[in-house]
Amino acid sequence: MAERPEPPESWASLPFFIDGRWDTLWRKLQALPDWQPAPEAIFRALALTPRPRVRVVILGQDPYPTPGRATGLAFSFPPDQKPRDSLKNILAEVATDTGQTKADGDLTGWAEQGVLLLNPVLTVPVGLSHGHKALGWQALTTQILTATATDGPRVFILWGAPAQKLCAPLPRDGHLFIESPHPSPLSAHRGFFGSRPFSRANQWLAARGEKEIDWSL
């Protein structure tokens, strides 16, 4: 049986990890069959983007249910798999918005530059989207978002109504909120394409004297 993953140090002070909720959720996961990502990748987004380094938040939904595709980063694919569906549309918008072309679907390079690629639900049953929605992950996600908004000015890129609803309670002053339809093939043509989230984020960062994100990495 896998050992319980420990939260990355910069996020470990969140109440979720202190008050027993992570212990309870982990016990639930241990009793469930065939879920992903692997235990060591559950907190990969938090590990690659430490709390003091967060500059941009991109909020997903839950990990990909396709076997072997969930990486612990919202929207990211394993480097050996060709981007499809939402990610394919995201990278198409990167190209038209910024002129930058990304060679693969591995978004690790974004995370390492301070882009928190966060799924509100951090695990999923293999083959069943939203299957872990009721496990209690949203309590952690809410704490992460609140902490991020409290730490200082940030960019929040919110695609689709669920992401926008989850972030509705956050304070708006000092932050940049970029909202549009989801990049899913079902909704991308309803306003995601042409929304220019990547250049808008970089313009905001540059105006604050911060380094822009290289979306080609």
Count of the separate structural domains present in the chain: 1
CA 154 – CA 51 distance, rounded (Å): 12
Residue 174 has pLDDT above 70, yes or no: yes
Domain limits at 202? 10-207
Residues catalogued as catalytic:
62
The answer to whether position 213 is within a domain reads no
Can you read off the two tokens belonging to residue 127? Answer: 């083959």
* Mean pLDDT, rounded, of the chain: 96
φ and ψ at residue 110, rounded to 5 degrees: -65, -45
The answer to whether position 217 is within a domain reads no
The answer to whether position 215 is within a domain reads no
pLDDT digits (tens, 9 = 90+) for 32-69: 999 999 999 999 999 999 999 999 999 998 899 999 99
> How would you write the chain as a 3-class SS string?
CCCCCCCCHHHCCCHHHHCCHHHHHHHHHHCCCCEECCHHHCCHHHHHCCHHHCCEEEECCCCCCCCCCCCCCCCCCCCCCCCCHHHHHHHHHHHHHHCCCCCCCCCHHHHHCCEEEECCCCCEECCCCCCCCCCCHHHHHHHHHHHHHHHCCCEEEEECHHHHHHHCCCCCCCCEEEEECCCCCCCHHHCCCCCCHHHHHHHHHHHCCCCCCCCCC
Residue 1 has pLDDT above 90, yes or no: no
Can you read off the two tokens belonging to residue 87? Answer: 């990610």
The answer to whether position 212 is within a domain reads no
CA 59 – CA 70 distance, rounded (Å): 15
Percent of the chain exceeding pLDDT 90 equals 97
Looking at residues 144-171, what average pLDDT do you find? 96
Looking at residues 89-97, what average pLDDT do you find? 98
- Residues facing 176 on adjacent strands: 155
Residue 2 has pLDDT above 90, yes or no: no
- Residues facing 179 on adjacent strands: 158
Looking at residues 144-149, what average pLDDT do you find? 98
What are the C-alpha distances in Å from 156 to residues 54, 73, 198? 11, 16, 11
What are the C-alpha distances in Å from 12 to residues 16, 24, 174, 211? 9, 16, 26, 27
User: Are 63 and 36 a contacting pair, CB within 8 Å?
Assistant: yes
> Residue 9, Cβ neighbours under 10 Å: how many?
11
- CATH at residue 141: 3.40.470.10
The answer to whether position 2 is within a domain reads no
The answer to whether position 214 is within a domain reads no
Looking at residues 74-93, what average pLDDT do you find? 96
The answer to whether position 117 is within a domain reads yes
The answer to whether position 3 is within a domain reads no
pLDDT digits (tens, 9 = 90+) for 196-206: 999 999 999 99
Percent of the chain exceeding pLDDT 70 equals 100
